[in-house]
Amino acid sequence: MTTVLLVRHGVTSTTGKVLPGRAPGLHLSEKGHEQAASVAERIAGLPKPPVAIYASPLERTRE
């Protein structure tokens, strides 16, 4: 069986205020970095490691 994990990027300085869409140059806030670290820990604790990871080229999705 294949498992697919969908993970949204963490919060940015504009979360809840502006919908930036595909705007480049928007980075994660401090809280967003904490959220990303938390998700990374959860993924690392899975019984099987991910075979592949795909992400948008936008900065906030790669942080």
For residue 4, pLDDT beyond 90? yes
Length of the chain in residues, anyone? 63
For residue 1, pLDDT beyond 90? no
pLDDT-based confidence at 51, cuts 50/70/90? Answer: very high
CA pair distance 18, 13, nearest whole angstrom:
9
Amino acid found at 29: S
Q: Tokens for 54?
A: 């795909």
How many Cα neighbours within 13 Å face the side chain of 58?
Answer: 16
Predicted pLDDT of residue 39: 96
CA pair distance 9, 18, nearest whole angstrom:
15
Query: What residues form DSSP beta bridges with 12?
Result: 28
pLDDT-based confidence at 20, cuts 50/70/90? Answer: confident
The stretch 15-28 carries a mean pLDDT of: 84
